[in-house]
């Protein structure tokens, strides 16, 4: 009988274990089905982000290391230069290849892009290529080296051919180096440009400083406004909230242009200050750092207010009353009890305003001066005026890298999961 009971007990335990295993498998299968459903529902959004956001950024970043101009327009010269050991100048055959392809590229309207690319290394290379192509038109020669040297003696310089070979190499670090005010010298070493020629590093530091200043000013102005919105009666709070939201309904360009009118020497602000007797001469509020800070603060302030307000609205007022009933002074209770509960909104607002300010363009362009250019303006110059997409891509790459580093540090110190954006 004991044997029978033991067998029955063992069989029951085995059946229970099998049942639990079957339930676990069913649960995992259900989870996988739900995950696939969620992925299918999110697939259109992910595809949209991939096409409209990630892919363009990826292409732009790839352009920072690509060098397609010379290899595309002068392919035979590119192959010939790859075999050149950079000792002296290339052979006569390379001169002949250069002469023929310069004429062909000129006829196909491809020489302009090559000239702009080489002008990136040396401002004289553009004139050299265009001049040579004009003199080579409808010309034949048995000694192309002598012909090219007769057109311009610079074709006998080793450095000219080194620049051609560097432009024929892809991928290239030249744009990435130039974006941090560095270059490769004739000996192949990476050197920094003189301080007086430093443009992009100064622009990056200026961008960070302006963004941090705007973030701090927005925080100081937004905190009391958000507190009023959260603690005023509903009717008054809604009216104040309307004033905060109205700027979102107005074009960014219109708001910036309005400050252009207000801040000019004969504008509303200076006329008001003069009428009150506060100033004897118009203040310089435009085309300088002051105008940039005022304009950007006005545009970024609603983001900070709404981020902080969303947190303050959820804080029960009983906490302050409880602290005061226990003997805490109003200021002490506010600082020690209320403020720590709002840090999630403060962090979200600072993060949002700072990141948005890093890539700002319109306001600094209209209200700033020559010494207030942010990195986005320099990117615009390279894409719209210089047509140098490689350098624009390099500047954009560094901006993306800096933003990513800032996000990583912020996440480590504060925790992005603790933030509340609404």
Give residue-wise pLDDT tens across range 398-414: 998 888 888 888 877 76
Q: Say which DSSP state 288 is in.
A: S
- What is the spatial distance between Cα 311 and Cα 301, in angstroms, rounded to a whole number? 16
pLDDT, residue 13, reads 65
Which residues in the chain land under pLDDT 50?
A: 1, 3, 5, 7
pLDDT, residue 228, reads 92
- What is the spatial distance between Cα 395 and Cα 181, in angstroms, rounded to a whole number? 11
pTM: 0.81
Give residue-wise pLDDT tens across range 302-333: 999 999 998 898 888 887 778 878 787 888 88
pLDDT, residue 3, reads 47
- What is the spatial distance between Cα 165 and Cα 87, in angstroms, rounded to a whole number? 12
The CATH class given to the 200-418 domain equals: mainly alpha
- What is the spatial distance between Cα 86 and Cα 96, in angstroms, rounded to a whole number? 18
pLDDT, residue 212, reads 95
Q: Under DSSP, is residue 184 helix (H, G, I), strand (E, B) or coil?
A: strand
**Cα distances (angstroms) measured from residue 118 to each of 7, 123, 182:** 89, 8, 17
pLDDT, residue 215, reads 95
pLDDT, residue 387, reads 80
- What is the spatial distance between Cα 319 and Cα 69, in angstroms, rounded to a whole number? 67
| Under 8 Å between Cβ of 80 and 97 | yes
Q: How many CB atoms lie within 10 A of CB 21?
A: 10
């Amino acid at each position: 009988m004991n044997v029978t009971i033991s067998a029955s007990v063992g069989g029951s335990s085995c059946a229970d274990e099998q049942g639990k295993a079957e339930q676990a498998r069913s649960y995992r299968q259900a989870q996988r089905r739900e995950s696939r459903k969620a992925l299918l529902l999110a697939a259109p959004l992910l595809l949209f982000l991939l096409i409209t956001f990630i892919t363009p950024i990826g292409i732009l970043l790839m352009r920072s290391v690509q060098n397609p101009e010379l290899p595309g327009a002068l392919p035979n010269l590119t192959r010939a230069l790859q075999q050149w050991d950079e000792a002296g100048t290339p052979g006569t055959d390379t001169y002949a290849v250069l002469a023929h392809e310069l004429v062909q590229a000129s006829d196909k309207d491809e020489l302009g892009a090559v000239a702009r690319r080489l002008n990136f290394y040396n401002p004289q290379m553009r004139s050299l290529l265009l001049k040579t192509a004009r003199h080579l038109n409808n010309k034949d020669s048995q000694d192309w080296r002598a012909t090219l040297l007769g057109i311009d003696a610079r074709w006998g310089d080793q450095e000219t051919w080194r620049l051609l070979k560097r432009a024929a190499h892809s991928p290239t670090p030249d744009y990435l180096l130039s974006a941090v005010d560095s270059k490769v010298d004739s000996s192949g070493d990476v050197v920094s440009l003189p301080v007086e020629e430093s443009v992009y590093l100064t622009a990056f530091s200026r961008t960070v400083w302006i963004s941090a200043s705007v973030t701090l000013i927005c925080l100081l102005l937004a905190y009391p406004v958000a507190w009023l919105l959260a603690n005023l009666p509903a009717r008054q709070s809604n009216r104040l909230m309307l004033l905060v939201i109205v700027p979102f309904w107005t074009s960014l360009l219109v708001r910036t242009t309005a400050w252009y009118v207000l801040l000019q020497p004969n504008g509303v602000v200076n006329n008001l200050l003069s009428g009150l007797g506060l100033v004897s001469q118009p203040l310089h509020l435009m085309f300088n750092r002051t105008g940039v800070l005022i304009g950007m603060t006005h545009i970024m302030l609603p983001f900070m207010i709404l981020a902080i307000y969303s947190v303050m609205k959820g804080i029960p007022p009983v906490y302050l009353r409880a602290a005061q009933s226990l003997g805490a002074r109003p200021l002490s209770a506010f600082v020690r009890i209320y403020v720590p509960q709002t840090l999630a909104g403060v962090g979200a607002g600072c993060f949002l305003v700072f990141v948005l300010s890093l890539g700002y363009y319109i306001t600094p362009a209209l209200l700033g001066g020559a010494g207030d250019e942010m990195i986005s303006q320099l990117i615009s110059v390279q894409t719209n005026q210089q047509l140098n997409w490689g350098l624009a891509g390099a500047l954009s790459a560094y901006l993306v890298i800096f933003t990513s580093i800032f996000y990583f540090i912020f996440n480590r110190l504060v925790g992005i999961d603790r933030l509340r954006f609404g």
